[in-house]
Amino acid sequence: MNRVWTALLAAVALFLAWEFVDWAFIEAVWQPDAKACRAAHGACWGFIADKYRFILFGTYPYEEHWRPALASALLISLWILSSFRFVWRWWLALVWLFGLSVIAVLMWGGVGGLRYVENERWGGLILTLVLTTFGLAFAFPLSILLALGRRSTLPVIRGLCVAYIELIRGVPLISLLFMASVMLPLFLPAGVSVDKLLRAQIALILFAAAYLAEVVRGGLQAIPKHQYEAAAALGLGYWRQMFYIILPQALRIAVPPLVNTFIGFFKDTSLVLIIGLFDLLSTIKVSLNDPAWTGFGVEAYVFAAVVYFVFCFAMSQYSRRLERSAISSAL
């Protein structure tokens, strides 16, 4: 009976795979022709061919699209460079600082003959990458401090950290974005305003830090007590104990849940649509409002799924490689 069911499921899987290949490739329309797409029986990739610039770059000026394209390539290159452990040196921070400065010049402009573009017009893939990069870069150190504070023996510090973590984890991200967009300006003095993108970025940082703090705290709790005692016996102070002995082991243990949180955060950036920012998924939704291309939502979301899968799968594979490397070095 097991063989019968295996053969039956294999036949169904092959049939569905063939139907998908026929729909996605053989019968597909690749030219940006809406009439041909409606007459065809396959996928309409012409929609992506016609709208890919808006999907990737949002409302950024059309003639300046080379700038967000170059900025996206540079940011992805920084990610790839940082994935190699042999470059984890002090000068890597300088490389990131230089790279982010170049990206800022490319995106904002206003210098070197580049046209100034306000960040309200940023959108698409580059906005998703920027929100993710800065969100995780600032949230991760903050999460370590929160995790250490939650385990502190000082009641005030422990209470403040517990209150912050439980408050942020107890409300949805949409509510934080709404507060940052609508409520925060009401508490500012007259004439003082905070950029919409910056407000969204701060809300994302605070949200990610609370979740990452619990992951780091789990890694800290997994460290045996004798490790703390051995570090104290060496005469190390609290911060040196954490930096040299405890945190390296705790973070090594917490690699899988940390990357899982990173992946979730990367996808959560799509919620910035609620405050008027158009990331990759938001630009796809807006593209479907074009009367000439209504009815091709399947192709649009398949394209979005492929883009998200590429980035998330890359992070997942890197985490597995990093975990294996950490385990082998520990042995």
Q: Does position 328 have pLDDT exceeding 70, yes or no?
A: no
Query: pTM for the complete prediction?
Result: 0.90
Confidence category of residue 97, pLDDT binned at 50, 70, 90: very high
Residue 225 CA: distances (Å) to CA of 219, 245, 248: 13, 12, 15
Using one digit for the tens of pLDDT, what is the confidence trace for 165-179? 999 999 999 999 988
Spell out the residues 6+ positions from residue 54 whose beta carbon is closer than 8 angstroms to its own: 124, 283, 286, 287
Average pLDDT across the chain, whole number: 91
Q: E strand or H helix at 267, and its extent? A: helix 255-268
Tens of pLDDT along 280-298?
988 998 998 888 888 888 9
Output the DSSP codes for 19-52: HHHIIIIIS-B-SS-HHHHHH-SS-BTHHHHHHH
Segment 30-36 shows an average pLDDT of: 90
Beta bridge partners of 330: none
The DSSP element (H or E) to which 124 belongs, if any, is: strand 123-124
Half-sphere exposure of 92 (CA within 13 A, CB side): 13
Yes or no: say if 136 and 265 are a contact pair by the CB < 8 Å rule: yes
Predicted local confidence at residue 330, as pLDDT: 59
Burial class (CB within 10 angstroms; exposed 0-12, middle 13-18, buried 19+) of 99: middle
CA distance 30 to 47: 8
